[in-house]
Amino acid sequence: MQLSHRRAGRRVRSLSRASLEWGYTLRCVSPARHAVAVASGKGGVGKSTVALNLALALRDEGGRVGILDADFYGPDIPLMVNLKRDASLKRWDLWRGGEVRLEPVERYGLKLMSVGFLLGERQSLPFNAMSLVIALRQFIDGTDWGELDYLVVDLPPGTADLQEQVTQVLKLSGALIVVGPQDAAHLDAKRVVELFRLRRVRILGAVENMSGLVCPHCGETIDVFPRVADERAVWGLGVRRLATLPLDPAVVGNGHGPLLVAAPDSAQAERFRALARAVGAELER
């Protein structure tokens, strides 16, 4: 019995030494004055679009901004900024922990990091929970972000391991929720709100994206989806509405880059800048 205790003790000591060497002991850090997670629960409601245009709008307001594409399963940021893989980094470089320093990719005055820069377009990365923490730590702690005012974190859909890990590894100043104007989008968003609240991450507010369509002929807003009752929506949880963004073909980009680059003078771009001011004000409160 005593012998097995001693063995267990040795095992725990060597495990913790190994975790230090590999750099995956949990420590909450932030490379920016404010790290903001953009989350939704539901997929395809516009998280990456909002994260990227919010980052550009914060840049327009004079901020030094980075984007961490934390969607390891479907990294979309490189495509959205018209960039492909940077072949200089090999897959296994990530697993060597703190030894490797990564350089963020610079685009439109933003600093970007994404697994999409490490993978071929048809390559997937089979992450398990441990490698996910190591890679996330590498992106947060092992990347030379320089001086940043804001790090915008684009999360994948769901309330699973990545969302959980981001709240543990990264010191978040707050979370911005993106919802579509449908029942299901609000239902999933409420789960994310609860996850962040459980982890004591402040909810800065929510953006209702794809909310109606502005008629290009008469300028009137057409409601595409039936209105979600307030008590069924995230607003019922006391989440503030920071912006309402209508469906807009200009947002899709069609290879011309993100909206704030392709159409910086449009009404939709101004909505993003108003959102950035609201997020900035929330963060300074």
CB of 139 to ligand ATP, least distance (A): 17
> What residues have CB less than 8 Å from 197, skipping those under 6 apart?
203
Q: Does residue 49 belong to the site contacting ligand ATP (CB under 6 A)?
A: yes
The residue within the footprint of ligand ATP, chosen from 31, 63, 71, 233 (CB under 6 A), is 71
Q: Choose among ligand ATP, Mg ion, none what residue 75 binds, the Cβ cut-off being 5 to 8 Å by kind.
A: none
* CB closer to ligand ATP, 100 vs 214: 214
Q: Does residue 45 belong to the site contacting ligand ATP (CB under 6 A)?
A: yes
CB of 236 to ligand ATP, least distance (A): 22
Question: d(Cα 24, Cα 38) in Å, to the nearest integer?
Answer: 24
Question: Angle 68-73-76 (CA atoms, 0-180°, nearest 5)?
Answer: 55
Task: Give the footprint of ligand ATP on residues 240-269 (CB under 6 A).
Answer: 245, 247-248, 251-252
* CB closer to ligand ATP, 141 vs 248: 248
CB of 26 to Mg ion, least distance (A): 25
Question: d(Cα 281, Cα 173) in Å, to the nearest integer?
Answer: 12
The CB density around residue 59, as the number of other CB atoms within 10 Å, is: 18
Q: Does residue 143 belong to the site contacting ligand ATP (CB under 6 A)?
A: no
The answer to whether the CB of 186 falls within 8 A of the CB of 232 is yes
The full length of the chain comes to 285
Q: Find tokens 């995956």 and name the residue.
A: 24
* CB closer to ligand ATP, 80 vs 239: 80
* Cβ-closest position to Mg ion: 48
Task: Give which of 143, 226, 241, 236 is closest to 187, Cα–Cα.
Answer: 236
* CB closer to ligand ATP, 65 vs 141: 65
The answer to whether the CB of 215 falls within 8 A of the CB of 222 is yes
The DSSP secondary structure of 12-64, one letter per residue, reads: HHHHHHHHHHHT-S---B-SEEEEEEEE-SSTTSSHHHHHHHHHHHHHHTT--
Which residues bind to Mg ion, rule: CB under 5 A?
A: 47-48, 76
Residues 2-41, mask of contacts with ligand ATP (x by CB under 6 A): --------------------------------------x-
> Pairing between strand 221-222 and 203-214?
antiparallel
Residues 177-216, mask of contacts with ligand ATP (x by CB under 6 A): --------------------------------xx------
Residues that bind ligand ATP (CB under 6 A): 40, 43-49, 71, 74, 76, 156-157, 209-210, 245, 247-248, 251-252
